[in-house]
Amino acid sequence: MKLLQICTFLLTLLLLVSPIFAEEEAETEPTIPVKKYVEFTLSGTYADIKTVSTFSTSTTKTLRGLFKKLDTLKADDEIAGVIFKIDGISVGWATLQEIRTKLHEFREAGKETISYLESGGNAEYLLAATMDRIVLMPTGSLNLTGLRAEILFYKGLLDKLDIQADMLAMGKYKSGVEPYMRDGMSDEFRESMTALLDDLYTRLLEHIAESREGMTVEKASDLINRGPFTAEEAQQEKLVDTLQYYDELLTDLKEASEDKEVQITKPNYERKRKVPDMNSFAGLMQLLSMLNPPQRARTGTAENQIALIYASGPILPDFDSFFSSMSVVTPETLKQAFQKARTDDSVQAVVFRIDSPGGSALASDLIWREVMLTQREKPVVVSMGNVAASGGYYIAMAAGTIVAHPSTITGSIGVFGGKLNMKGLYNKIGLTKEIIAHGQNATLYSDYGGFTPTERERVEKMMKTVYEDFVRKAAAGRSKSFEEINEIAQGRVWTGKQAKALGLVDELGGLDTALSIAKKQAGFADDDKVNLIVLPKQRPFFEQLLEQMIEDTESSIQLKGWKIGNLKGWGFQPSLLPAFHSLFGTQWQHAFTWLSLFGFEDGTQVVTILPYGILIR
User: Are residue 257 and residue 368 in the same domain, yes or no?
Assistant: no
How many Cβ atoms from other residues are within 10 Å of residue 302's Cβ? Answer: 11
DSSP class per residue in 334-388: HHHHHHHHHH-TTEEEEEEEEEE-EEEHHHHHHHHHHHHHHHHHS-EEEEEEEEE
Q: Is residue 460 part of a domain?
A: yes
Q: Is residue 312 part of a domain?
A: yes
User: Are residue 524 and residue 419 in the same domain, yes or no?
Assistant: yes
- Average pLDDT for 159-182: 89
pLDDT at 223 over 60: yes
- Average pLDDT for 339-364: 94
pLDDT at 185: 92
Which are the catalytic amino acids? Answer: 390
- Average pLDDT for 270-298: 55
Closest CA to 381 of 362, 365, 404: 404
Tell me the residue type at 490.
Q
User: Are residue 530 and residue 604 in the same domain, yes or no?
Assistant: yes
pLDDT at 579: 38
- Give the DSSP H or E segment for 608: strand 606-609
User: Are residue 349 and residue 239 in the same domain, yes or no?
Assistant: no
pLDDT at 267 over 50: yes
User: Are residue 467 and residue 597 in the same domain, yes or no?
Assistant: yes
User: Are residue 261 and residue 319 in the same domain, yes or no?
Assistant: no
Q: Is residue 23 part of a domain?
A: no
Look up the domain containing 97 and give its range.
34-145+227-265
Confidence of residue 297 (pLDDT cuts 50, 70, 90): very low
User: Are residue 248 and residue 353 in the same domain, yes or no?
Assistant: no
pLDDT at 168: 87
pLDDT at 61: 86
Q: What is the share, in percent, of the chain residues with pLDDT greater than 90?
A: 55
- The Cα–Cα gap between 309 and 67 comes to 17
Provide the number of structural domains found in the chain.
2
Confidence of residue 567 (pLDDT cuts 50, 70, 90): very low
| Per-residue pLDDT reduced to its tens digit, 416-442 | 888 889 999 999 999 999 999 899 989
- The Cα–Cα gap between 2 and 18 comes to 24
Which residue, of 265, 280, 314, is where some domain finishes?
265
pLDDT at 50: 77
pTM exceeds 0.85: no
Positive or negative: CA dihedral 469, 470, 471, 476: positive
- Average pLDDT for 263-284: 64
| Per-residue pLDDT reduced to its tens digit, 572-584 | 333 333 333 433 4
User: Are residue 497 and residue 587 in the same domain, yes or no?
Assistant: yes
User: Are residue 45 and residue 100 in the same domain, yes or no?
Assistant: yes
User: Are residue 371 and residue 454 in the same domain, yes or no?
Assistant: yes
Q: Write the burial class of residue 245 (CB in 10 Å: 0-12 exposed, 13-18 middle, 19+ buried).
A: middle
Q: Is residue 249 part of a domain?
A: yes
Residues making up the chain, counted from first to last: 617
Strand, helix or coil for residue 211: helix
**CATH number (domain holding residue 476):** 3.90.226.10
